[in-house]
Amino acid sequence: MSGERILVVDDNKTNLKLVSDVLECEGYRILKASDAESAQEIIGTTPPDLVLMDIALPGMDGLTLTRHLKADDSTRHILVVALTAFAMNGDDARAREAGCDGYITKPIDTRTLPGVVAGYLQGRA
Amino acid sequence: MSIDLSALLLRETPDSIIITTPAGEVVYWNKGAEQILGYASAEAVGKPLDDLIVPTEYIDQLNRYRHEAIANGFSTFETARRPKDGSLVYMVVSNKVVYDGEGRAEHIIISQKDVTHLKVLRDAKLVESQFRDLLESTPDAIIMANQTGRIVLANSQAESLFGYERGAMLGKLVELLLPSRYRGGHVAHRSGYFGQPRTRSMGAGLELYGLRSDGSEFPVEISLSPLQTAEGTLVMSAIRDITDRKLIERALQEKNVELERANKAKDSFLASMSHELRTPLNGIIGFAEFLSDGKPGPLNEKQKEYLGDILNSGRHLLHLINDMLDLVKVQAGKSDLVPERFRLEDAVNEVRAGVHPIAITKRIEVAITIADDIDVVMLDQQRFKQILYNLLSNALKFTNDDGHVGITATREDADRFRIVVSDDGIGIRAEDIGRLFTEFEQLETGTARRFGGTGLGLALTRKLVELHGGEIHVESEIGKGSRFSVVLPLAIKGARA
């Protein structure tokens, strides 16, 4: 039970719930946002250790928000892991370019997700 | 009042009267010559006669008769001359040499009579007697012309095609049958044709049109062949009205464009549908997986079993959708290969590892043999693995417990290798092999349905192999097993190994 705080940003409610519940089960404290604007607000008040960021979002997209976070001294330390639709279509490269610390290809594999997330958090430590 | 009869004769005779030096330089050119040959006296005088009006193929003949005239004082012959407009006229020529006091040739007087019309009649008579019966019996319109481009024979099919009375086309220039915009160019073409006569179709790749006597046009297809006769070379044109064919072609083209558009719409529909279908499906699979792992709470055996069923069905559906999306992409040409250098053996081992759980469950041994002369290849690694995975999982699926499956790679030639996936499974009936690589044609031979699968795997596999510039074949015998054999390049064309 690590207890780190993870913000999950996804406009698909089912996916948001799935990712959140799987990680919650592992003992993480979970914050949820369904768009970049409300994610920004949450980060301002309750800074998480890691953001799982869907790239395609209504309004501001996930990569734009990532650039904002990485440009700001007060949020630069927060790990951002992109949730990309396909590794094939170049989303992974775009995610790295925007400053993401890593990416996870959708669909989410509930069996491997906790390990991957733990790996990112440990890598930071 | 005295009339200068000699002057009158020279001026008014319809024949062409020319005087040249013994070497052939024009010194006099009468009005008849101006009319028949098209050059004014001022244009002609001082020029070599050979360059002005003698077609290349008649130069030898001209020299022969000029020498004969200089030697004997006189020569006469029939020939063809090229007037200024590039056409051709037949002429009967008389040469008379005038000598000086010491017996040296001083001038040649050349009298030429235009016999084009007579020649046409003669040619017409000849071909009429030799070919009329034959040509009347062919379905095509046939027109024969002589070197002057005048029609010497038109069969009745040609007369009705172009709308002329019997015999009305005889002696006319063939350009009569062309829309006026093509006439100028045609004169040059037909002169060129007599230079190198051979059988060929006219204006390959061009749209050709005929002109009827009533002024209407119609599309035609024409083939030309030279015909050697006692009266010289004639050209025979077989003309076919292709109005109907053009209409059908156009209709087919329109239909084709329509079909392509419909097909594209279908592809993009399928592509977006596949994407839309996957999103909720990922939710179904994700939650089922999460639940069946017992993470949110303990489950009893039945609950575990049913969740397993949901997962299996969901994964099968996801597989189907992924295959469909892949197939649509490859079909739409949207799938580019990403060439990568990798060791063939490593890739084969990775694919085998992917099917290891099934192989263990069915106690099937998967033997790999890779020839020593195959090491690194330059292919789209992911696609290659997909091809091999499809063939290998099929082999395992259709092989009974304790059976054997083998993967063998050998060098095919300098640039290609062959990879064979063989099994000793249930096999495929000969009559089913043809349908094997067609979408949704999973064979219904009795028990085949119990093996599951998407029915897209082999169609996709073939497409991927073809995308690499390779080929796939299958040999099989019922009850004995199957051999799927794929030939691929060692390096994708255009990629550097």
Residue B446: pLDDT over 80? no
Q: What residues of A are in contact with residue B287 (Cβ under 8 Å)?
A: 14, 18
Contact B289 A111 (CB under 8 A): yes
- The percentage of residues in chain B with a pLDDT greater than 90, rounded to a whole number, is 41
Contacts of B42 by beta carbon, 8 Å cutoff, 6+ apart? none
Q: In this predicted model, which residue has the larger pLDDT, B367 or B496?
A: B367
Encode pLDDT of B247-284 as tens digits. 999 999 999 999 988 888 887 787 777 777 888 888 99
Half-sphere exposure of B433 (CA within 13 A, CB side): 16
Residue B451: pLDDT over 60? no
Contact A18 B290 (CB under 8 A): yes
Residue B308: pLDDT over 50? yes
* pTM of the full structure: 0.51
pLDDT band at A1 (very low <50, low <70, confident <90, very high): very low
CB atoms within 10 A of CB A34: 17
Tell me which residue of B93, B96, B117, B120 sits closest to B107, measured CA to CA.
B96
State how far the Cα of A74 lies from the Cα of A59, in Å rounded to an integer: 23
Residue B440: pLDDT over 60? no
State how far the Cα of B285 lies from the Cα of B278, in Å rounded to an integer: 10
Give the β-pairing of A102-105 and A79-84: parallel
Residue B203: pLDDT over 70? no
Q: Residue B360: what are its φ and ψ, rounded to 5°? A: -65, -50
Contact A107 B278 (CB under 8 A): yes
Q: How many residues does chain B have?
A: 497
What mean pLDDT is predicted for residues B359-366?
Answer: 91
Encode pLDDT of B149-185 as tens digits. 889 889 989 999 999 988 888 888 898 898 988 887 7
Contacts of B401 by beta carbon, 8 Å cutoff, 6+ apart? B362, B363, B364
Residue B188: pLDDT over 90? no
Encode pLDDT of A91-122 as tens digits. 778 888 889 998 888 888 899 999 999 999 98
Encode pLDDT of A19-76 as tens digits. 999 999 999 999 999 999 999 999 999 999 999 999 888 889 999 999 999 999 999 9
Question: What is the reported pLDDT for B205?
Answer: 60
> Which has the minimum average pLDDT: A51-60, B135-144, B313-322, B418-427?
B313-322
* Helix, strand or coil, per DSSP, at residue A113: helix
Give the β-pairing of A29-33 and A5-9: parallel
- Residue to mutate among A10, A28, A84, A110, with most B CBs inside 10 A, is A110
Q: In this predicted model, which residue has the larger pLDDT, B353 or B203?
A: B353
Residues 67-106 of A with CB under 8 A from B: 106
Encode pLDDT of B216-243 as tens digits. 999 998 888 888 887 778 888 999 999 9
Question: What is the reported pLDDT for A86?
Answer: 61
Residue of chain B whose Cα is closest to the Cα of A21: B296
Q: In this predicted model, which residue has the larger pLDDT, B130 or B444?
A: B130
pLDDT band at B199 (very low <50, low <70, confident <90, very high): confident
Question: What is the reported pLDDT for B342?
Answer: 93
Q: In this predicted model, which residue has the larger pLDDT, B49 or B203?
A: B49
State how far the Cα of A2 lies from the Cα of A121, in Å rounded to an integer: 10
- Residue to mutate among A12, A19, A22, A26, with most B CBs inside 10 A, is A22
Question: What is the reported pLDDT for B497?
Answer: 44
What mean pLDDT is predicted for residues B424-428?
Answer: 88
Residues 24-43 of A with CB under 8 A from B: 25
Mean of pLDDT over chain B: 86
Question: What is the reported pLDDT for B1?
Answer: 54
Q: What residues of A are in contact with residue B381 (Cβ under 8 Å)?
A: none
Contact B282 A107 (CB under 8 A): yes
CB under 8 Å, gap of 24 or more: what pairs does B119-122 form? B119/B90, B119/B146, B119/B148, B119/B231, B120/B146, B120/B148, B120/B150, B120/B151, B120/B152, B120/B170, B120/B171, B121/B171, B122/B231
What mean pLDDT is predicted for residues B8-29?
Answer: 91
> Which has the minimum average pLDDT: B100-114, B180-194, B230-244, B350-364?
B180-194
Contact A110 B293 (CB under 8 A): yes
- Residue to mutate among B277, B289, B381, B386, with most A CBs inside 10 A, is B289
* Helix, strand or coil, per DSSP, at residue A86: coil
**A80 and A53 Cβ atoms separated by less than 8 Å:** yes
